[in-house]
Structure 1
Amino acid sequence: MSATAGRLTIIEKCRISPPPNTVGEKSIPLTFFDMVWLLSHPVHQLFFYHFPHSKSHFIHEIIPKLKRSLSLTLQHFFPFASNLTVFPTENRLARNPEIRYVDGDSLVLTFAECDLDFHDLKRNHPRDCNKFHGLVPALEDPFKVSNLVKIPVFSIQVTIFENTGITIGLTNHHSLCDARTRAIEYPDSLDKMWLNLPQIRTLDESYKALELVPQADRVRSTFVLTRSQINTLKKWVLVQLPTLEYVSSFAIGCGYVWSCIAKSRVHVVGKKGEYDVERFACVADWRSRLATPVPQTYFGNCTGLCLAKTKTTLITGSKGFPTAVELVSTAIREGVESKQGVFEAETWLEKTFLKVPTVGVAGTPKLNVYDVDFGWGRPEKYETVSLDFNDSISVNASKESWEDLEIGLCLPAKQMDAFITISRKDLESMISHRF
């Protein structure tokens, strides 16, 4: 961490494996749904927990327990201690990459101490993005065994803020999946399409996952929409667009934030910015929507792309918010109900990397991150640190109520100021409206 971002001291770095002879050698071939993430950035998650204890207590009481409990857990979730294994170039089109575990494989567990203000970090107001980077671990570099390239897929960091709190940082390669992978059926052409990409055909030990880098004047903030506010926004939208049959809370939250982000960008850079198009992208869960339903125990990637596109002038105008909600709702409905289903995945590549302002979504309010308990009760705050890689937002159920939406975003400081002003003003205007 930089001087301005606080001081981070490594207490210990160790490798944790499942107990000997509890897993054996296992491998899980990646599906197309996993391979689409091979070129993506890692996922960085950060949990904040109350921990009013000394560093000495942490070292002597907590660290040994965490090591042992993690080892025991890994025997049941061995992919996390595995490596993404890529076969030689000449075999690459015939054999998909695999999540492979061999006896002795391990993940890196780091223990650290930080002198930043724990209470400030876990609040909702704008905070320097760089302060969070040192609290999530990087993935280890790839290595080669015989003619196989092996890429670590998971790492953990536990950081103590003495007498105050603890953070648990989790980093995973987005292609991580589980033993139910081959329950998914889809055309072989999709595998070949991705394996033929130059970046994947030439994948070797020089491959390196993207890392968080310091960015000047960029801040992260958390925006909460309560159930009452969401209901008010729904009424507003349905007055403006009475033909809409159904509007979800997710579409309301995403549409509202999308329109405010676009307005804040125009406010900062002016209407003559580099682009005149705005896009919104999220993924829909396809587990129950494929021709062959996926078992409930499936743990890997199985999502389809939902994409909305509009002119900047439409989403930043007087009807920008209802327009955004309608576009988001339509994109989700079409992504979920598409009769083409997985076959449309052939177009994902060109859509995903189109260079226009795109607000993506990480997380889902359907899985409540505030129910995660590592032994210290419910987390006091959750942050998706990997938002720093792009213009994505995080959308989760709120800590206070699963019916509220907690939305995280990272923006340049001036744009964040504009976003806060615009979002508050628009919200107050709609709340004061009499229906």
Structure 2
Amino acid sequence: MATKVVDKLTVAASPPADGGVLPLTFFDVPWIFTGPVERVFLYTYPHAVEHLAAHLLPSLASSLSAALHRFYPLLGRVRPCSSGGGGGGYEFCSTGGDADRVELTVAESGDDFEELAGGGPMDVGRLYSLVPRLPRPEEGSSELAAVQVTVFPGKGLAVGVSIHHVACDDSSFMHFVKTWAANCRVASGGDVDAVPPPPPPFLDRGVVADPDGLAAKTLDQMRQLANSGPPPPPPSGPPPKLFMASFTLTRDSIDKLKQRVTASGGGGVHCSAFTVACAYAWTCLARVDATSAARERAHLLFSVECRRRLTPPVPQEYLGNCLRPCFVEVDTAGLLGSGADGVVTAAVAIGAAIRGLDDGVLDGADGWFQKIVSLMPHRPMSIGGSPRYGVYDTDFGLGRPAKVELLSIDKTPGTVSMAEARDGHGGIEIGVALPEADMARFSSCFADGLKQL
């Protein structure tokens, strides 16, 4: 099962990128001291590592180089700036030329590819061997991106990507990966006109205005929190081993959930597929959590895409973070209600929170960070990813992925991932990371709930 490193390459932009300094926006600042978004794409690949090195690897490297020319900020670092700057005292910096590089790790694994691609419960450590680690920060400066290609001889191939969240959100993450994949597909002999490559990224950070100094205010709040003393100690004993698994809501199940919400008086709320999928996952997690019943209120936290909601709108291709938190709160008793009652309670509250954004997507922005911090003791459920990003459309010339995993959800307890279902029939795939016993209870709750629809 061991994964061994075969080679390490460093890839520069080609043609060389101009480089330069870019400011952080107030959307970026909250992510400075977090970590990377880590995702792995698993493909059927019936070849040995020697075949990879001779045939596919050159295309992967050259196409990554071409993608980095367009997405050149990912080549650099985030660092403190002496002038203070518009990003609360931090900036992105890349030197240009071929000095800035992204590490491409080539590895070989003896693990069971079919099992890893099957979506069933597995130790998250097995998946983490397939994504690269970003180096530790040096003097407050952090690298932003790394990639890894792992071959399972005669079985499959994994493409792991790690990008620091301060550099971009999941929309930009997938824009970069799909650009790399499209370049590789063409470099490998694919038809350039069959699937058009994504448009280039939009790099002008001036489109995100900050007249109220939100970037500096947020960083001040973060420093005040750091100066207030260490966080509470973790529970005694070793942390539980986490397992990751995926569960699918089919299009039919989603439609039945929406009908149930509408029939129960929720017809006036924003009742999308995302709404009911969040609601269903939230009720299952609440029922698995043995401490839920002891809390009067239950909380959900998810990010909302702001590019089209800002005035004026920001181009969808904007490279960076453009998310705001959305807060949902319900009575725990209602969330734990029998049958589909809990799903209705959750869906109505989620839909109302989304509709409330119509009053102003940036309303209360100066209090977002403090509110998130205040919710942490209440163990909110949170969401990573989105069905809108089309992760299963990522084709490096190998066809559709057999499986895509968002590994970084395991960093925050109660976080689930969402993606479009891999069969392409309009369902939603929900990923969870839980201790083994909780995973068994979640699986049972998920399946039992669907039987009652």
Q: TM-score range by the shorter chain?
A: 0.7 to 0.9
C-alpha displacement at 1:402, in angstroms? 5.2
Query: Kindly tell me: are residues 73 and 200 of structure 1, through their superposed partners in 2, closer, same or farther at Cα, counting changes over 3 Å?
Result: farther
C-alpha displacement at 1:215, in angstroms? 5.4
Matched residue, 2:330: 310
Q: How far apart, CA to CA, are the structure 2 residues paired with 1:281 and 1:363? A: 13
* 114, 119, 128: which one aligns with 2:114: 119
Q: How far apart, CA to CA, are the structure 2 residues paired with 1:373 and 1:120? A: 21
Kindly tell me the number of residue pairs found equivalent between the two proteins.
403
C-alpha displacement at 1:159, in angstroms? 0.7
Matched residue, 1:196: 220
Please say if 1:374 is aligned against 2:396. Answer: yes
Query: Kindly tell me: are residues 56 and 190 of structure 1, through their superposed partners in 2, closer, same or farther at Cα, counting changes over 3 Å?
Result: same
Matched residue, 2:445: 422
Q: How far apart, CA to CA, are the structure 1 residues paired with 2:407 and 2:239? A: 13
Matched residue, 2:31: 37
Matched residue, 1:209: none
Matched residue, 1:252: 276
1:32 partner SS = coil
Matched residue, 2:195: none
C-alpha displacement at 1:102, in angstroms? 0.6
Deviations 1:195-224 (A, max 9, x none): 324549999xxxxxxxxxx95432111111
Question: Does the 8 Å contact 1:42/1:171 carry over to 2?
Answer: yes
Q: How far apart, CA to CA, are the structure 2 residues paired with 1:351 and 1:162? A: 48
C-alpha displacement at 1:270, in angstroms? 7.7
Please say if 1:393 is aligned against 2:416. Answer: yes
* Alignment RMSD: 2.3
Query: Kindly tell me: are residues 247 and 270 of structure 1, through their superposed partners in 2, closer, same or farther at Cα, counting changes over 3 Å?
Result: closer
Q: How far apart, CA to CA, are the structure 2 residues paired with 1:19 and 1:420? A: 47
Which consecutive unaligned segments of at least 5 residues does structure 1 have?
1-5, 204-213, 431-435
Q: How far apart, CA to CA, are the structure 2 residues paired with 1:259 and 1:296? A: 32
1:27 partner SS = strand
Question: Does the 8 Å contact 2:269/2:351 carry over to 1?
Answer: no
Q: How far apart, CA to CA, are the structure 1 residues paired with 2:59 and 2:239? A: 36
Query: Kindly tell me: are residues 202 and 97 of structure 1, through their superposed partners in 2, closer, same or farther at Cα, counting changes over 3 Å?
Result: farther
Q: How far apart, CA to CA, are the structure 1 residues paired with 2:259 and 2:225? A: 51
Matched residue, 2:95: 102
* 54, 62, 72: which one aligns with 1:60: 54
Please say if 1:223 is aligned against 2:217. Answer: no
Amino acid at match of 1:256: Y
C-alpha displacement at 1:27, in angstroms? 2.1
- TM-score (structure 2 length as normaliser): 0.83
* 384, 388, 413: which one aligns with 1:362: 384
Q: How far apart, CA to CA, are the structure 2 residues paired with 1:15 and 1:217? A: 33
Deviates more, 1:55-64 or 1:74-83: 55-64
Question: Does the 8 Å contact 2:242/2:434 carry over to 1?
Answer: yes
Query: Kindly tell me: are residues 12 and 201 of structure 1, through their superposed partners in 2, closer, same or farther at Cα, counting changes over 3 Å?
Result: farther
C-alpha displacement at 1:311, in angstroms? 2.9
Q: How far apart, CA to CA, are the structure 1 residues paired with 2:222 and 2:269? A: 45
Query: Kindly tell me: are residues 23 and 217 of structure 1, through their superposed partners in 2, closer, same or farther at Cα, counting changes over 3 Å?
Result: closer
Question: Does the 8 Å contact 1:45/1:384 carry over to 2?
Answer: yes
Question: Does the 8 Å contact 1:255/1:324 carry over to 2?
Answer: yes
Question: Does the 8 Å contact 2:21/2:92 carry over to 1?
Answer: yes
C-alpha displacement at 1:281, in angstroms? 1.2
1:290 partner SS = coil
C-alpha displacement at 1:277, in angstroms? 3.0
Q: How far apart, CA to CA, are the structure 2 residues paired with 1:157 and 1:399? A: 22
Percent identity over paired residues: 29
Please say if 1:235 is aligned against 2:259. Answer: yes
Amino acid at match of 2:393: D
Question: Does the 8 Å contact 2:292/2:332 carry over to 1?
Answer: no
Question: Does the 8 Å contact 1:93/1:195 carry over to 2?
Answer: no
Deviates more, 1:291-300 or 1:35-44: 291-300
